[in-house]
Amino acid sequence: MIKLNVNGQAREVDADPATPILWIVRENLKMPGTKFGCGIAQCGACTVHLDGKPIRSCSTPVSAAEGKTITTIEGIAAEDGTLHKVQQAWIEAQVPQCGYCQSGQIMAATALLEKNPQPTDAQIDAAMAGNICRCGMYGRIRKAIKAAAGIDTAAKVEA
């Protein structure tokens, strides 16, 4: 049994310690918000936080998470359901299209703002360059990150 802390809850899984965290959260813990994209840490769709830092869960064995805290897309809203400011900014800027990469994008963005609340454009690019979006919503991602950081107000689309 591997003891984990996922989104603030203690969890135990019976799995090969070499299993990537991605498959543990998706299959064993039934939290499918974290996505499989490439399996070799090239696309960022599987990004989760390990002790607050963004990691590529497809290439990080679950053994590396023992005694550490894993946070997934399912765990960043407040307990009362209030969305994280990055999630809110994502809606306001109408970022997602197909949406498949967005869990990873949002996890990368929340980690960036945690570490650097007022990132420059170059810092945003550097932090987000590991996350591919095939629908090409990079312009909106930049805008949403700045809005969440209070740097710029994203144009709001009427609900």
Partner 1 sequence: MLKYIRAVALSSMLALTACGADPAPGPVEQIIVREPGAAPAVAVAATEAPASTLIADGKAAFANCSACHSLEQGAANGVGPNLYGIVGKNAGGVAGFAYSDALEASGIVWTAAELDSFIADPAGKIPGTTMVAGAIADPSKRQAVIAYIESTTAN
Partner 2 sequence: MGKWSRRAFIGAGVAAGGALVVGIAVRPGNPIDGLSPLLTDGENEQLLNAWVKVDTDNIVTAVIPHVEMGQGVYTALAQMLADEMDADWSKVQILEAPADMQYVSDSIGRDFLFPNLQVPALIEPTVAGGILELAQAMGLQFTGGSYSVRATGQRAMRTAGAAAREMLVAAAASEWQVPAAEITTADSMIIHAESGKSEPFATFARAAAEQSLPAKPKLKSPENYKIMGQPKARHDIPEKVDGSAVFGIDADVPGMKYAAVKAPPVIGATIESMDATTAKTMPGVLQILNMGDFVAVVADGYWQAQQALGTIDTRYSKTEGDGLDQDAIFARYASHLDEAGEDGGDMQTEAGDITKGFTEAATKVEAEYKVPFLAHATMEPMNCTAWVRDGKCDVWSGHQAPVNARQAAADAAGLPFEDVTYHNAYLGGGFGRRSDSDAIIMATRIAKATGYPVKMIWSREEDTAQDHYRPSATSRFRGGLDKDGKAVSWDNIHTHLFDPADAPTIPHYNIASHRIRKVDVSMHLRFGPWRSVDHSQHGFFIESFVDEMAHAAGKDGYAFRRELLAKSPRHLKVLDTAAKMSGWGSALPEKHGRGIAFVPSFGSIVAQVAEVDMSGPKPRVTKVYVAADPGFVVNPDGFTAQMESGIVYGLTAALYGDITIKDGAVQQSNFHDYPMLRIDEMPEVEVTLINGDHERLGGGGEPGLPPIAPAVTNAIFAATGTRVRELPIAKHDFA
CB of 2 closer than 8 Å to CB of 66: yes
Closest approach of partner 2 to the CB of residue 90, in Å = 5
Residues listed for the chain: 159
Residue with smaller CB distance to partner 1, 115 or 156: 115
* # residues contacting partner 1 (CB under 8 A): 21
Tokens representing residue 158 in the block: 């009427």
Contact letters for partner 2, residues 94-133 (x by CB under 8 A): xxxxxxxxxx--x-----------------xxx-xxxxxx
Q: What is the dihedral of CA 158, 109, 111, 28, to 10 degrees?
A: 90
Stretch that binds partner 2, among 15-23, 63-71, 111-119, 146-154 (CB under 8 A): 15-23
Stretch that binds partner 1, among 75-83, 88-96, 107-115, 144-152 (CB under 8 A): 107-115
Binding residues among 42-81 for partner 2 as defined by CB under 8 A: 42-43, 45, 72-74, 77
Residue with smaller CB distance to partner 2, 66 or 125: 125
Report helix, strand or coil for 75.
helix
What DSSP string runs through 115-154? H-SS--HHHHHHHHTT---TT-THHHHHHHHHHHTTSSPP
**Bridge partners (DSSP) listed for residue 54:** 49
- 120 lines the binding site for partner 1 (CB under 8 A): no
How far from 9 is each of 31, 50, 119, CA to CA, in Å? 13, 14, 31
Provide the binding-site residues for partner 2, judged by CB under 8 A.
15-16, 19-20, 23, 27-28, 30-40, 42-43, 45, 72-74, 77, 83, 87, 90-91, 94-103, 106, 124-126, 128-142, 157-159
